[in-house]
Copies of this chain bind each other. A is one copy, B any other.
C-alpha cells in the first residue's frame, strides 16, 4: 500500500503552486504495478468465510434476493443470526409492477428495492454480508456453499471464487423463464422478469417507433417494426399487453402521430388467457383487451426467427418486439443440486420447508416444492406464495436459534412446531387504464368475491401502493402515477 499512503501525502492543497516532486511520486508509486502481474484473484486460492465458532452468532446463508429471500431476511432477527446473502442482483424487484415500467408509466427504480434497505444489518453488522455473486454448488456434507462473483461485462476482472460455511442454508434462488425448448426464443424474445428486461423492452419499443418514421421505409417493414407480439396469456402477458395498448392510445397517438396507425399488439396464447381467474373475469378481460386494440390469437409457437415467429400450423407472424411470458421452470443451478426433487423438478421440501435428506438446508419460493411424500400439491410460482414462505421460515429460524439449535447440526431432533400452511388470498391483474380484475376466491373451484372494472383497479393500485416495500418507493410509485396522469409517459430513450 506504499503507493497509496504516499498519494495521500501529495494531496495537500495545491495553492502553494509548487510542482509535485516527481521523484517522490515515482519512488512511491513505482513498486505498485498490477499491469505486468497476473491479477490478484488468480494468485490466491479460493478463500471465504469459515465455519462459525460455538460462541459466535450462527450464520444463515440465503441464496437469492427475490420475494422469498427478501421476506425471509426482513424477518430474521440480526441479534440472533449473522445474515449472508448471495445473489447476482443487489435489489429485490417488485415484479407485479414491472410491466408498467416498460412503457414509462413507472420508473425502473420505483420497483427496485435495495436489499440493504430491506435488512439494514446486511451492510453494517460485522458478520453480515451481501455478496454480488452466483452460487455454483452446495456441499451439504461440509456445510459449505461455493460462489463466484458476478463481473458483468467488466473484461479486466476474472470471477473471484470463494466458499461460505453455513449454519443454516436457505435456497431461494428462484426459477427461470420456460422456453419449452423452442428454437430462437432465448436469442430473439425478451422475458419480463428483471429490471434489465423492462429496460430492454422500453429501449427497443422506442427504437422501433423512431426507426419506422424514417422516410422511404416500405409499408410492410413499418408494420413489422411496430408489431408487438406477446406470447403467454398469464397475468404478466395480459398486464403488459394492457399497458402497451394504453401507451399506444394515450402517448403514441399524441407523440408519434406519423406512425400511430402502424402500431399493433398481438397476444398469443395456446389455451385460455388468465386461466386461474373466474370465467366472468376472463370474459371481461377478453372484452376489454379486444376493445382497447389487443388482438388475441390462439396458437402454439413452433420456431422464433429474428423477424418473425412460426406457429405450429405453419403460419408466420412478423414482429418488431417479442415478449415471452409463458411461465417458469427449474434453473440449471437447481437441476445441478443432488437434492431430492418435487414433481416438476423443483427442490423437494417437507412441511417445514426443510430438505429432509440433509441437515440445515431449507428451500422457499419458485425453486422449491412439496415432496410427493408430504401429500401436498406443489404450490404455484407466485409472489404471494414466496412471500408467505419467507415470513414463515424467518419465524421458524428465529425460534430454532432461541431454542439453542442455531448452529450447524444443532436442530437435529428439535420439535419445529406448526408446519407451513398456504392460504390463497386471491389474484389481481390490471387490463389497462382504470380497469383491473380482482379474484378473491381461495381456489378455482371455491366460491367468493370476484370484481372487474374501476373499483378493482382502485383496489389494485391501493394494494400495490401499500405493499411496495419502503416508504421511499411508495412515495416514488405514487409520484410516478401522478406525473404519468398529468404529463403523460416519459418517452426519452436513455
Contacts and interface: CB of A to CB of B under 8 A. Distances in A.
Interface of A: 1, 3-4, 7-8, 10-15, 19-20, 22-23, 25-26, 28-30, 32-35, 39-41, 43-44, 46-49, 89-91, 107-109, 112-114, 116, 123-124, 129-133, 149, 151-152, 154-157, 160, 162, 164, 188, 195-196, 199, 203-204, 206-207, 210-211, 213-221, 223-224, 227, 254-258, 264, 266, 272-273, 282-283, 286-287, 290, 294-299, 305-308, 311, 313-318, 470-472, 475-476, 479, 483, 486-487, 490-494
Contacts of A217: 40-41, 160
A156 B306 contact: yes
A471 B487 contact: yes
Given A215-B48, A216-B47, A295-B7, A112 B471 contact: no
Given A34-B220, A41-B217, A164-B215, 17 more contacts: A4-B264, A11-B266, A14-B286, A25-B311, A25-B315, A32-B316, A32-B318, A33-B316, A34-B318, A89-B493, A107-B109, A108-B494, A112-B494, A130-B213, A132-B207, A151-B207, A199-B494
Nearest to A200: B153
Nearest to A160: B214
Contact of A214 (B4, B29, B131): B131
B317 A29 contact: yes
A91 B216 contact: no
A26 B314 contact: yes
Contacts of A298: 14, 19-20
A223 B130 contact: no
B124 A307 contact: no
Given A160-B217, A210-B90, A287 B30 contact: no
A3 B494 contact: no
A290 B35 contact: no
B299 A25 contact: yes
Nearest to A7: B295
Contact of A40 (B29, B33, B221): B221
Contacts of A90: 206, 210, 491-493
A3 B33 CA distance: 63
Given A472-B483, A491-B114, A35 B308 contact: yes
Nearest to A30: B315
Contacts of A12: 290
Nearest to A211: B149
Given A26-B313, A160-B217, A476-B483, A34 B1 contact: no
Contacts of A297: 7, 10-11, 20, 25
Contacts of A476: 483
Contact of A49 (B215, B219, B493): B215
Contacts of A22: 313, 315
Nearest to A8: B295
19 contacts: A4-B227, A11-B266, A13-B296, A14-B296, A15-B286, A22-B313, A25-B299, A35-B305, A35-B308, A46-B216, A91-B493, A108-B494, A109-B494, A114-B490, A132-B211, A154-B204, A156-B188, A162-B215, A199-B494
A214 B160 CA distance: 8
Contacts of A14: 272-273, 286, 296, 298
B295 A34 contact: no
A94 to B, nearest CB: 11
A25 B491 contact: no
Contacts of A221: 39-41
Contacts of A11: 266, 290, 294-297
A216 B296 contact: no
Contacts of A49: 215
A32 B220 CA distance: 9
Contacts of A20: 297-299
Contacts of A152: 203, 207
Contacts of A211: 132, 149, 151, 157, 160
Contacts of A210: 90, 130-132
Contacts of A13: 283, 286-287, 290, 296
Contacts of A4: 223, 227, 264
A114 B209 CA distance: 14
A238 to B, nearest CB: 13
Contacts of A315: 3, 22, 25-26, 28-30
A486 B155 CA distance: 37
A47 B258 CA distance: 17
A492 B113 contact: yes
